[in-house]
Structure 1
Amino acid sequence: MTNLNDKKVMSESNIPLTASELGFLWAQYMNDTLDICVMNYFKNICEDKDILPLIENSLSIAKNDIRIISEIFAKENHQIPVGFTDEDVNINAPRLYSDSFILMYIQKVEILAMASVSMAIGLSARSDVSDFFRNLLISVSELHDKARKVMLSKGVYVRSPKIPVSNQINIVENQGFLIDFFGKHKRPLTAIEITHLFNNIQTNGMGKALMMAFAQVCKNEDVKQFLIKGKEIASKHMKKFGSILIDEDLPAPMGWDAHVTDSTIAPFSDKLMMFQTTYMIAVGIGNYGMAAGTCQRLDVSATFARLAAELALYAEDGANILIKHAWLEEPPKSVDRNKLANQSE
């Protein structure tokens, strides 16, 4: 006898994928193929026995994702993306990053994954897709927790600034909480504002180190100049956010630059390095947008909004390079109804 719940799942799986489900699955497939390339290289250079299991865990998650997404796409008769392959990685390239960088990279990437997968769960209606992302969230959160514990044990986990515990409730009484009208005294930063400043310094720190390393090893001159510009932008943003914290007598986290070696032999293709860079830019724009919307001190909010606009212009430069070299794989899109109408005439 067939269970009614089984019938429900079967019928749901026959419903066509929505644009949200298709988009999230496509993006996850692309990121997983990149992750396999990166982790295979990390696996080959990593010497720390505490970090190697994390790399293996990341590879296992990515390979399982690709298998499931490929099955879903096959059932939908949807073209499976190319993504990244063995041609995009040279696992025998010399060490470009320290083992500590690999550990911090895994932890940071899983934070980004948890955010994107959570959104995918919220916008996925079909049970098979929702279940896939729900199980993926469990996997990446567990990997993040393992990486966090290893970072703590090795003394490389950077905690956000501490603030005094409040023993009373305060009510905002005037607009001075939002803006310093007379330029004499800005109120202290809230915990949320400190969090956004701290997180964006760390994210820029990882991005700067990645771009600095990529610029050392990339082959195309336009890619090199793009990466050098990105490194300069990241450095400028880190200094701006750090100065806001320091002005409040709060510590700013250090960068990741010391974890990049002097190797000039590329472990990755220019295509992969450009994709990862533009992905980090997109993450940065999203982080700045969230910060601008939730920081209540208007000078801080305006800083995030202004720098987000700068990142958007830089992102356009990256997209143009991807298009120029035929590296930009087109995501699923809707049909052009006007074009179809004109063809029928």
Structure 2
Amino acid sequence: MENREESRLTSAELANLWRLYITENLMYQFKTPLIDNCQDPDIRSAIEFSRAISEHYIVSIENIFRNENYPVPTAYSENDIHPQAPALFTDVFCLHFIHQGAQLGMSKIHEMMAVAVRQDVWEVLNQGANDFKDLYQQSLQLLLTKGLYSRPAFLPPEKESRFAENKHYVSGWLGNQRPLNALEIMSIHNTIIQNGISKAILRAFAQVINDKKLRDYLEKGAETASDIMRELEDWLIMENTNVTATLDSEILPTETPPYSDKLMMMLIANVGVGSLGVYGNALSTVFRRDLGLKFMHLMKDAVQYAQEGLHLVIDKGWMEVPPQFPDINTR
């Protein structure tokens, strides 16, 4: 049996639980108006399941924090949503958002499980991981059934396995370029999907947010996401492969905000973290130098945009910070 010292939360467990609590609390509040305004019963069921996953984490992590005498994060509340506001997104957008969230959730939770030591922490994460898998399948089947799923390109089968014949395989700036391989197509496709969702959220929030400075920031992000999608789609067009449809038409015309400015800005920050993960994965899988350089630039620009957003939310007093070591200079 572990003694008290050994059974305390490690810094890794504390960090992941804190981050997960903040994120799932945010998502719980964000999904509430989506459920209230959803017209399609199948899609509403998927959103409700997604919100139930968020609730599982909120309740479980609160219990762990209280038992360990850590303060429960303030996070968000029903005060950050406006129940009487009209719908901002169509059901189609909601389904895409839920599906993308399930994908990211599966990835992130397994990373957290890999550093979980305590059994209760591992069990909380594992239950959520299983739920995210079920949500992924539920949302995927809905997208397929409704003809909304955007498949990556298909590649014809080759006669035999191949090896790079020369260093031209990793070139990509000058002269003839080799065709994109499957890993590169996957990375481009995933990046377009992530930016399509990001752009729709940015444009929708810019449409209803109250603060002009924040609105300008969101509009800048939407234009950047649009530019990224166009450039990456050009690579697919050169390979004569299919291009992913945008979600621009899934934003509804309203100027009444369903959320507080704080919630909208912090959701954008959360989406930005997801984009950085997609860019990082892409950078680790592409071989052509032109693609590698492109994803490096995307990461740099995303970090700069995120920093600009952090400065805005810090100025507003909205940025809650994770637990840290005591400052010895204040003792």
Report TM bin, short chain.
over 0.9
Q: Distance in 2 between matches of 1:233 and 1:12?
A: 50
* 1:322 alignment counterpart: 313
Matched, 1:155 2:151: no
318-327 or 51-60, which moves further after superposition? 51-60
The structure with the largest alpha-carbon Rg is 1
1:38 to 20, 30, 38: 30
Deviation at 1:302, TM superposition (A): 0.6
* 2:137 alignment counterpart: 145
Matched, 1:129 2:82: no
Q: Distance in 2 between matches of 1:193 and 1:96?
A: 34
Q: Distance in 2 between matches of 1:122 and 1:133?
A: 10
For the aligned residue pairs, the C-alpha RMSD in angstroms reads 1.5
1:50 is paired with a residue whose SS is helix
Gaps of 5+ in 2: none
Q: Distance in 2 between matches of 1:44 and 1:180?
A: 49
AA paired with 2:119? S
Matched, 1:184 2:184: no
Spell out, residue by residue over 1:202-255, the C-alpha distance to the aligned partner (whole angstroms, 9 max, x if none). 100000000000001001111101100000110011111111111121122021
2:42 is paired with a residue whose SS is coil
Q: Distance in 1 between matches of 2:312 and 2:250?
A: 27
* 1:258 alignment counterpart: 249
2:277 to 275, 280, 286: 286
AA paired with 1:304? F
Aligned ranges 1:165-314 → 2 under 5 Å:
165-180=157-172, 183-314=174-305
Deviation at 1:60, TM superposition (A): 1.6
Where has structure 1 moved over 4 Å in runs of 4 or more? 11-14
CA 1:180 to 1:315, structure 2 compared with 1: closer, same or farther past 3 Å?
closer
1:26 is paired with a residue whose SS is helix
Q: Distance in 2 between matches of 1:13 and 1:155?
A: 54
2:72 to 69, 80, 84: 80
Deviation at 1:66, TM superposition (A): 1.1
AA paired with 1:215? A
* 2:44 alignment counterpart: 52
Deviation at 1:97, TM superposition (A): 0.7
AA paired with 1:209? A
Deviation at 1:290, TM superposition (A): 2.1
Q: Distance in 1 between matches of 2:325 and 2:193?
A: 36
AA paired with 1:300? L
Kindly indicate whether the alpha-carbon contact (under 8 Å) linking 1:13 and 1:127 is maintained by their aligned counterparts in 2: no
Kindly indicate whether the alpha-carbon contact (under 8 Å) linking 1:288 and 1:308 is maintained by their aligned counterparts in 2: yes
Deviation at 1:14, TM superposition (A): 6.2
Q: Which has the higher contact order (CA 8 A, sep 6+)?
A: 2
Q: Distance in 1 between matches of 2:19 and 2:86?
A: 30
Q: Distance in 2 between matches of 1:124 and 1:12?
A: 17
Kindly indicate whether the alpha-carbon contact (under 8 Å) linking 1:13 and 1:126 is maintained by their aligned counterparts in 2: no
Compute the TM-score of the two structures, normalised by the length of structure 2: 0.96
159-168 or 210-219, which moves further after superposition? 159-168
Identity in percent? 30
